[in-house]
A and B are shown apart, each in its own frame.
Chain A
Amino acid sequence: MRDRRKGILRTRLLAQAGVLLLALVAALAPVYWMLTISLKTEVDQFAIPPKWFSFTPTLQHYTDAFVTRSFGQYLLTSAIVAVVSTLFALVIGTLAAYALTRFRLPYHLDRKLSLWILSTRMFPAIVTAVPLFLMMRDLRLLNTKASLIVVYTAFNLPFVVWMMRGFFAEVPRDLEEAALVDGDSRLGALFRVVLPLVAPGLAATAVFCLIVSWNEFLFALVLTQTDAAMTLPVGIAGRVTQYEIKWGVMSAAGVVAMMPILIFALAMQRYLVRGLSLGAVKG
């Protein structure tokens, strides 16, 4: 009996290890393949059978993309748009979230407003992309960073409000009340007592906004079509849909586009599930 149970346990462990390994390979091999393509000469790229490990790496595609072509500029645009829109969304969203968790408004307005804010995030992007294009055209803001910054701020705002609501709710009220009794104003208590306590949550939320803005594609595609204004994803997409595709350049740009995201994501693993589910699951 004990031997049999041991046997079952061992099979289970083996099965687990096997599944783990399989899942790891399935998740990482496709990305690794892109990395190799970005480092291979064109001859090696087209080699059959595919060369997974044995090839002489070259950085030629990276210089080709970021020095010869305009990918350096797209990269800069992506960074500016992501950082500025994240800052706006954080400031506006955090203040709103604080008000919606700490004040009881008449007619349950605090709850209703929170739900309404969340519902704006549920629109499929294409629904707002069409009118936003026409609005930006009327305002002569097409092909500007400003248009993307404004749109991404609004896009991230519901997310910031919901994430920060969750983090504020975890701070005990007594701490603020003590500060208020000591003569602090409401905002003084927010900045001196509450914000330091939710700083890790604020950082996680910021990283999330950065990732979303950095990865966003549809609005950027619709709103920016010139070299001076387009973001990295739009730049990459432009190369992919051309007739003659430079696979190496495209892969190099893809690798560069994913690097900051991966670093950020690993840095805030702990909050990842919570962020991806808009605070619904506290992973």
Chain B
Amino acid sequence: MPRSKRFSSALNRRELLLPYLLVAPALVVLLALSIYPLVYSITISLQQETTTGVVWSLVHFKRLASDGFFRTAMVHTLVYAVAALTCEVLLGLGLALLLNQQIRGRGLFRASLLVPMMLPTVVVGVVWRLLLNPNFGAINGTLKRIGINTESLTWTASPRLAFLAVIAVDVWQWTPFVFLVLLAGLQAIPQEPYEAALIDGSSRWQTFRHVTLPLLKPAILIVLLLRTMDLLRVFDQIFILTEGGPGFATEMISLYIYRTAFRFFDFGYAAAMSFVLLAVTNVVSVVYLKVLQDER
């Protein structure tokens, strides 16, 4: 009897330790490759190399306040994110509402829409460089064919058009995702509230405004959260498509940080800037999550 008791308590202890043993490898990996780099980054952002060695200083963070390029890149990023997000949600929502029913060939349609969003971002950049090339690109070629003068449409060579182009690229790639999530959200809405609205004699707009939209809100918020995070840190497509140019016209914050670190080798300042980006994305995600939690 005592032996079996000791045996079962040993078993229990093993049972108690097991979850920690199972989680430990994941924690070690994340501590080493997510948290330690962050600490490393904080350290270098607070250090300055002088002739006498490395000293602690706030010089990198002070520089942020007076760096016009940093401010411009920040503004570009925010404008870009808001513009792309607006287009994607409006287009995605419209498509989802229109196609929220059994349609012939829906599987094929969905599969085709997957293509842009699964594409490697580098390939997206290549695709759009080919399309937008002023000399042989398909866009100007097609416009010319239907009789439009394309001389001024130099796309990536014109600051204004280049900015529109990088927004369009993201809208092209990610509207399908917004559409798919919102469609999933729409299809999860039960029929009863619609029947009630029908009995009350609500107009289609009223039904949309007071039934569909509130019930779809969680899905919309998740889409907004995920897309905002991605848009604020955009790098790949723009690096390929315009490299932030012409001049500084499409320079986003991630590109500016990259250039500072890997072209000018000013790692401390790059780290300082990356914390501003981290802070902005954190604030945005906390706000979204707060709204989402209140919703539930």
A96 in contact with B130 (CB, 8 Å): no
A94 CB, nearest partner CB in chain B, Å: 9
A228-241, CB under 8 A of B: which get 1 and which 0?
00001100110011
A163 part of interface (Cβ distance < 8 Å): no
Per-residue interface assignment for chain B, residues 180 to 210, with 1 indicating a CB less than 8 Å from any chain A CB and 0 otherwise = 1101110000000000000000000000000
A175 vs chain B, min Cβ distance (A): 18
Closest beta carbon of chain B to A142's beta carbon, Å? 12
Interface members, chain B 98-154 (any A CB < 8 Å): 98-99, 103, 109-123, 125-131, 135-138, 141-142, 144-145
Q: Which residue of A lies closest to B24 (CB)?
A: A96
Report the minimum CB–CB distance from A169 to chain B (whole Å).
15
Residue of B whose beta carbon sits closest to that of A158: B30
Complex CA distance for A214 and B119, rounded to whole angstroms: 10
> Could you tell me the distance between the alpha carbons of A50 and B141 in the complex, rounded to whole angstroms?
6
Closest chain B residue to A190, Cβ basis: B22
Bound-state CA distance A50–B134 (Å) is 12
Give the segment of B50-58, B63-71, B157-165, B257-265 that binds chain A: B257-265
Using known A-B contacts A50-B138, A251-B126, determine if residue A217 contacts B235 with beta carbons closer than 8 Å: yes
Which of chain B's residues has its CB closest to A110's CB? B19
CB atoms of A31 and B119 under 8 A apart: yes
Is the C-beta of A1 less than 8 angstroms from some C-beta in chain B?
Answer: no
Given known pairs A95-B25, A96-B25, A233-B120, the reply for A133 and B112 (CB within 8 Å) is no
Most chain A beta carbons < 10 A, residue from B33, B103, B144, B282 = B33
Do residues B142 and A49 form an inter-chain contact, with CB atoms below 8 A? yes
Chain B, interface SS category: helix
B18 within 8 A of A: yes
Is B23 positioned at the interface, with any CB of A under 8 Å from its CB?
yes
Contact B181 A120 (CB under 8 A): no
Flag whether A72 is at the interface (Cβ < 8 A).
no
Contacts of B98 in A (CB 8 A): 15-16, 19
CB-defined contacts of B30 to chain A, threshold 8 Å: 117, 120, 154, 157-158
Give complex CA distance A104, B26 in Å: 18
The residue that A266 contacts in the complex, of B114, B185, B222, with Cβ under 8 A, is B114
Q: How far is the CB of B139 from chain A (nearest CB, A)?
A: 9
Q: What is the bound-complex CA distance between A153 and B26, given in angstroms?
A: 10
Q: Is the CB of B222 within 8 A of A27?
A: no
> What CA separation (Å) do A186 and B30 show in the bound complex?
25
In the complex, the answer to whether A30 meets B236 with C-beta atoms within 8 Å is: no
Instruction: Point out the residues of chain B lying under 8 angstroms from A161, CB to CB.
Output: 26
Instruction: Give complex CA distance A278, B285 in Å.
Output: 14
Please determine whether A254 and B277 come into contact, CB atoms closer than 8 angstroms.
no
**Beta-carbon nearest neighbor of A114 in chain B:** B23
User: Would B233 and A131 count as touching, CB distance under 8 A?
Assistant: no
Q: Is the CB of A124 within 8 A of B261?
A: no
Q: Is A154 a contact partner of B34 (Cβ separation < 8 A)?
A: yes
Partner of B19 from the list A99, A153, A281 (CB cut-off 8 Å) is A99
A92 to chain B, nearest CB (A): 5
B-chain residues with CB within 8 Å of residue A120 when the two chains form the complex: 30, 34-35
Q: List 13 extra interface pairs beyond A122-B281, A126-B254, A134-B267, CB under 8 A.
A: A19-B99, A28-B115, A37-B130, A96-B23, A99-B20, A103-B19, A127-B277, A150-B33, A251-B126, A262-B114, A265-B114, A277-B181, A280-B226
List the interface of chain A (C-beta within 8 A of B). 15-16, 19-20, 23-24, 26-31, 33-34, 37, 45-50, 52, 92-93, 95-96, 98-100, 102-103, 105, 110, 113, 117, 120, 122-135, 150-151, 153-154, 157-158, 161, 186-187, 211, 214-215, 217-218, 221-222, 232-233, 236-237, 240-241, 247, 250-251, 254, 257-258, 261-262, 265-266, 269, 272-273, 276-278, 280-283
Binding site for A on B (CB under 8 A): 15, 18-20, 22-23, 25-27, 29-30, 32-38, 40-41, 44, 95, 98-99, 103, 109-123, 125-131, 135-138, 141-142, 144-145, 172, 176-177, 180-181, 183-185, 219, 222-223, 226, 229, 232-233, 235-236, 239-240, 243, 254, 257-258, 261-262, 267, 270-271, 274-275, 277-278, 281-282, 285
